[in-house]
Structures are given as C-alpha cells and as structure tokens.
Amino acid sequence: MRFTALSLIIAIAITHSVFGTQQIPEKIIYKGDTLALLSLPFEEKLETIKNKTQIHTRLGKMCSTALYRGYTGLWKIEHGELYLIDIDICGDPDKSFLDRLFPGQQLPIKATWFTGELYIQEGKRLYYSLNPTGFGGFSDKEAVITITNGNQTDLKYFYNGPKATQTGMSSDFVAVVREVYRNIDWINIKSLSEDYKLTLVVRLNTNTPFTIKGDLQGIYRKELENVIDSLPPLQPFLIRGKTPELGYLFPIIFSQKMKDKFGKG
C-alpha cells in the first residue's frame, strides 16, 4: 500500500494523542457483521461477582492503559435479544472465562442483567482522539439500541459528523489537515526540514478550536498562527444529535516533502 504524506499525518495523529489512551471497544455481531460496540454490558454483571479471582486470577484487573477494564467481550443481537458469545482476559481468546462464569449453562448467554444502551458502529471510522465515549474512535453511522433486561426495546440511528448544509469550514479531520497545509505560505519559508514541526490541536464545538503545541518558534509558529487566524469557523460536529467537545491533533511539518505535497506552486 502506498503510504502518502497525508496517511502519515493520520497515523501520527491517532497514535500520539494528548488526550489519553483510548479504550479498546467490545465487539458485537449485528445484522451479520462484526462491529465495534462502544458500550460495556458486562460491567453490571461484573459488579455482582464477589470472588472474581475464583473465575480468573486477573478478572477485574487492568491489562494496559488501553484496556482498563481487563477483558473484552463478543456479543450479538438475535431475535431482539442481547447475548454474550464469549469473554476473555486482556483480549486473548485463549483466556476465555465464559464457561467458568456460567458453569453448566447453555451458550451463548442471554444478558438478562443488562439494561442500557448499545452504541454500535456501522459506518466509516472517524479520526478523533478526544472522544466523549472514551473509546478509540467512533463511526459516521451509529445504531443505538436500548436494551431492557436483555431484550431490545428501541432502536435509533444517528449520522455523526458535520452537516454539509451548514456554513463554515468542514470539521472533518482530513479536510482540516488539507486546508491548514494548503494555506501555509511556503514561499515565505526559506529553510525546510523534517525536524521543523509543531502540533496543531483541534477542539470541535468550542469557541477556541485551535491550539499550537511545540517549541518551534520564529517564522514557523508565526505562519501557523496566520493560517489558523485566516480560517473560517469550523462547522459544528454532531454526535448522536448533540455537539459535545471532541477533537484531534496532527503534526505540522515544515519540510520539502510537505511543501511539494501541499504548496500552491
């Protein structure tokens, strides 16, 4: 696969977040597809287990900063009911503890203990590191299923992201990256290097959407300040019909490669 300059920016942005480590989502089989689930239906069950170490020595303990809850579950919606198919320690299928959790019961297990909402990611993944869900990314199309004692009682669909009919500049990650780089006055910058870089933090749905991070000063910081001052307001970004604060960051690299990629000639 050809690794373009823009794809490098995306890779850096989603792996080096200033907002903390995003959590690995659960998985759910929904309408024949295995999708990311930004909900934790097992937590209510976990709270009722008094002797967790009898189930597994690591149950209830953190695996990493990306998996504070210590487990990952596979779920499914079938005939309007929520089922737990499997659950394991630290995302390792060889460390499943479903049989010990429900000894002698027919699998999969109906999640009768759970009442709440399931946030199922059906669309294209959006690149946002400040995510109000706490998980590592959400999608532009989302099914929100209400569950009551393991039974589906409601279903709503949401289309996340900026609306094309709204005024202002698109707040989409890729659109903002391109717009910032294209508005840099590359002719005014005489010295270029891969080491000359700053970080632009973008916070959506706020009055101060741009913050520059990094030690680089002089013409480089001044030019980036001029660029963000010249940009039109960012479109509001909707998540489940609301406008919470969220955002992302990406590097601004004053190099010959980036000039060749985005310069206007």
**pTM of this structure:** 0.78
Query: Distance between CA atoms of 125 and 82, rounded to whole angstroms?
Result: 24
154 & 208 share domain = no
Same domain, 155 and 192: no
pLDDT in the model for residue 126: 76
Q: Is residue 24 part of a domain?
A: yes
Place of tokens 């910032």: 180
- 167 in any annotated domain: no
Are 27 and 88 in the same domain? yes
Indicate whether 4 pLDDT > 60.
Answer: no
Mind listing the pLDDT tens digit for each residue in 32-49? 999 999 999 999 999 898
**Domain edge (last residue) among 159, 186, 204:** 159
- Say if residue 132 is in the same domain as residue 183: no
**Boundary (domain end) residue, out of 102, 134, 159:** 159
- Kindly report, residue by residue over 198-256, the tens digit of the pLDDT: 999 999 899 999 999 999 999 999 999 999 999 999 999 888 889 888 888 899 999 99
Residues 60 and 184 in one domain: no
Query: Does the residue 10 lie in any domain?
Result: no
How many structural domains comprise the chain?
A: 2
Structural domain contains residue 101: yes
178 with 65, same domain: the answer is no
Mean per-residue pLDDT for 129-148? 79
Q: Which two tokens stand for residue 158?
A: 């949401």
Residue 60 or 181, more confident? 181
Its domain, for residue 139, covers 20-159
Assigned domain for 2 exists: no
Helices (H), 16-142: 43-46, 52-55, 98-101
- 56 with 89: CB under 8 angstroms? yes
Residue 14 is assigned to a structural domain of this protein: no
Looking at the fold, whether 254 and 199 belong to one and the same domain comes out as: yes
Render pLDDT for 61-74 as a digit per residue (tens, 0 to 9). Answer: 888 888 889 999 99
CA nearest 138: which of 249, 8, 237?
A: 237
User: What's the pLDDT score for residue 10?
Assistant: 43
Please check whether residues 92 and 26 belong to one and the same domain. Answer: yes
Whole-number average pLDDT of the chain: 87
**180 and 154 belong to one structural domain:** no
* DSSP per-residue letters across 184-232: S-GGG-----TT-EEEEEEEETSS--EEEESS--THHHHHHHHHHHHSP
149 & 182 share domain: no
Residue 128 confidence class, pLDDT cut points 50, 70, 90: low
Q: Classify residue 223: in a domain, yes or no.
A: yes
Q: Based on the fold, state whether residues 202 and 142 are members of the same structural domain.
A: no
Least reliable range by pLDDT among 7-11, 36-40, 182-186? 7-11
Residue 164 lies in a domain: no
Closest by alpha carbon to 39, among 154, 153, 144? 144
Q: Please say which residue of 125, 159, 193 terminates a domain.
A: 159
Residue 127 has pLDDT above 70, yes or no: no
- Percent of residues, the chain, with pLDDT higher than 70: 87
Query: Residue 80 and residue 32: Cα distance in Å, rounded?
Result: 14
Residues 184 and 237 placed together within one structural domain of the fold: yes
Q: Please, which pLDDT band fits residue 131 given cuts at 50, 70 and 90?
A: low
